[in-house]
Amino acid sequence: MDYMDFLRTIKENDNLPIEEKIKRLEDYLKDKKSILGFSAGSDSTLIAYVLSKVSPDSILVTVNNNMMPR
C-alpha cells in the first residue's frame, strides 16, 4: 500500500476511534526506513513519535527558523 492509499483508507474510515487510526499508522510505518521532516506542530509531532516508536532507524528532522513561539 502506498501513502496515498493509506490516506484514502483513513479518510474513508473517518469515524474510527483515534486509537485505531494510530494503530493503522503504526502498521503502515512499521519497519520502513524513512526520513521525516516535521514542523513540531501537534500533527507532525504525533507522526514523528509513532515513526520513532515503530521504526527506530528512521531519521527525524526539524528546523528552528525562529518563527515558532517560545
Every domain of the chain and the residues it spans:
3-61
With a cut of 80, say whether residue 51 has pLDDT above it.
yes
Q: Which residues, at least 6 apart from 9, have a Cβ–Cβ distance to it below 8 Å?
A: 1, 24
pLDDT tens digit sequence for 30-41: 988 899 998 878
pLDDT class of 59 with cuts at 50, 70, 90: very high
In terms of Cα–Cα distance, which of 48, 68, 67, 66 is closest to 58? 48
